[in-house]
Amino acid sequence: MPNIKLLEAQWLSDVKQAVAFAEKSFGEDVVSTRNALYALWRTVDQSPGSIRDLFRQFKEEDLAKAAEDITAKELFTNLPLVVGSVAERTKLLYALAVRIRALEAALHEISGDEPIRHENQCLATYGKAEAFILLRKPRHRTAATKQSFRRRGLVSSRVFPRLIKGYRVRLLLPDDPRGRKRAAARQALSFGAGLFENMKFDVGHDTDGFFIRDVSIPGQLATIRDHIAVASSSECHGIVYPELTITRDTLLQIRDAIGTGEWKCDLSVLVAGSRHEEIEKQRFNICSILSGYGEEIAQHRKLLQYSDGDQVESIQLGDELQILILPDAIFAFGICLDFCNTSEDPPYADLDVDYVLVPSCGNERTMSGHVRRSAEYMDKQKTRTLVVQQFYSERATGDEPLGYVLARCDDLTIQVKDLEKCNPWEIYNI
C-alpha cells in the first residue's frame, strides 16, 4: 500500500493532468465548461483525505470573493503546483477551490432555462469518468466556513458520479407541472406515510431462501385511494408505503385508477412499497416509483439481501440508484436494508440529494439502524430521510405497533420508541 507521500505525489500529477484538460476544454459552450468543472471537482474529490480535509479552514467569504475576482485568463495560470509541505498543499487546494467556484459560476451564466429532460443534457466527462452536474442548490444546505469540500465545494450545483461504488446512477426527469406550481409558491414539502392494518404474508420457500408470494390486507385498494385523496387535498408532494406491502396486481390497479382519473390524485410521486417479483426467471425485491399521473417512472431493486442467520431473502440484487429530479427537491430511494445496514457501506453518503425515501419492513432493531444511518447522512450532507416501516416479526406477541415512521429533519437524538405508530396514516412536513 502506498504511503502518504506517494499519494500526495500522485495527487499532484492528477492535478496537473486535470488542469491541462480543463484549460484545453474550457470554452464558450456549456459542454466544455461542464467538463472543465468536473475535471477539477473530481480531482479534489478524489484527493487524499488529509489534503481534502484542509478545505474546512477556508473562509467562505474569501472563497466567494476570490472566485468572483478571478478572470478567465487567470483560471489556468500561476497555480502553485507543489505539495512538499502542509502550507504548500493548502495553497494549491485553495487555488483549485477558487477555480472550481469560478467555473461553476460560468456554467450557470451560460446555461439556458431549458428544462432537463434527458441525462445527456447534464452529462460531464473527464477521461473515463462521467458524472451528471445539476445546476440546483441544495434544499437544506448553505455554504459556510468550516464545512468540508463535499458540503460546499460547489454552492449552487450538485455532482452525481455516473458510477458510485459499482452502482449505476440513473436520473429520473419527469415533467411535473404540479411540482413547478408548488416550487413557485415556495410550499413546504410534505409526504403522507401509509401503514396497513391486519396484514398477512403468504410466505414461500425455495432452495435460495424465503420469498413473499402474496399479501393479504383487507380493503387495501380503498385505503390507498382514500390516502391519495387526503394527501392531494392537503397539497402533499407524495406518499410512501412500506416494503413488501403492495403486490404486482395491486400496483397495476393503482396505476389504472390514477391514470384513468377514477381516483383523485394531485401528487408528484407515489412510492408504492415493494414486492417480490420474478423477471426473466430471477426474483427481485422491487419498489415501483409512480408519477402523480400513474406512470411507473422507475423501479428501485433492493441492493442488499436480508438474512437473520436462519432465513435468507430469496432475491437477486439491484445494480442501479434512481435519482428523482422534481422542481423543488431531489430524491434517492432505498428498500429497508439498503439504508439501515450499518455493517456495510451503502452508497447514499455519496449522493448529494435532498431526501432519501425508504420503504421498510421489520422490528425495532431494523428501525434502530435507520435512525443511526439517517443521523450520519444528516451530518454529512444535510440529507433528510423518510422511512415508512411496517412492523413484522415471526415472534410477534400482538402488543407491537402497526409500524414506525422516521422523518429525520434535523440532528436531534431520536428514540425508536418515539417512532412507533398505531395510526395507519399521517402526513409529515419534511
> Which pLDDT tens digit goes with each residue over 70-101?
999 999 998 999 999 999 999 999 999 999 99
Q: What is the pLDDT of residues 152-184, one digit of tens each?
A: 999 999 999 999 999 999 999 999 999 999 999
Q: What pLDDT score was predicted for residue 290? A: 98
pLDDT beyond 60 at 423: yes
Q: What pLDDT score was predicted for residue 397? A: 65
Q: What pLDDT score was predicted for residue 27? A: 81
Cα dihedral across residues 50, 56, 62, 65: positive or negative: positive
CA separation, residue 292 to residues 119, 238, 255 (Å): 21, 8, 9
pLDDT beyond 70 at 196: yes
Q: What is the pLDDT of residues 273-322, one digit of tens each?
A: 999 999 999 999 999 999 999 999 999 999 999 998 888 999 999 999 99
Task: State the CB neighbour count (10 A cutoff) for residue 430.
Answer: 20
Q: What pLDDT score was predicted for residue 377? A: 94
Q: What pLDDT score was predicted for residue 342? A: 83
Cell of 36: 472543465
Confidence of residue 419 (pLDDT cuts 50, 70, 90): very high
Confidence of residue 191 (pLDDT cuts 50, 70, 90): very high
Q: What pLDDT score was predicted for residue 2? A: 63
Average pLDDT score over the chain: 95
pLDDT beyond 90 at 115: no
pLDDT beyond 70 at 404: yes
CA separation, residue 424 to residues 227, 271, 303, 416 (Å): 10, 16, 27, 17
Residue 109: closest CA among 72, 56, 55, 54: 72
Q: In which element (H, E) is residue 252 found?
A: helix 248-259
Q: What pLDDT score was predicted for residue 337? A: 95
What three-state secondary structure class fits 389? strand
Q: What pLDDT score was predicted for residue 10? A: 95
Residue 317: closest CA among 335, 302, 295: 302
User: How far apart, in whole angstroms, are the C-alpha atoms of residue 176 and residue 173?
Assistant: 9
User: How far apart, in whole angstroms, are the C-alpha atoms of residue 19 and residue 3?
Assistant: 25
Q: Please provide the DSSP assignment of 29-60 as one string.
A: SHHHHHHHHHHHHHHHHTS-HHHHGGGGGS-H
User: How far apart, in whole angstroms, are the C-alpha atoms of residue 173 and residue 175?
Assistant: 7
User: How far apart, in whole angstroms, are the C-alpha atoms of residue 15 and residue 270?
Assistant: 44
Q: Are 359 and 302 in contact (CB under 8 A)?
A: no
pLDDT beyond 70 at 396: no
Distance, first Cα to last Cα, the chain = 44
Percent of the chain with pLDDT over 70: 99
pLDDT beyond 70 at 221: yes
pLDDT beyond 70 at 361: yes
Q: Are 277 and 318 in contact (CB under 8 A)?
A: no
Q: What pLDDT score was predicted for residue 400? A: 86
Q: What pLDDT score was predicted for residue 399? A: 79
pLDDT beyond 70 at 346: yes
pLDDT beyond 80 at 113: no
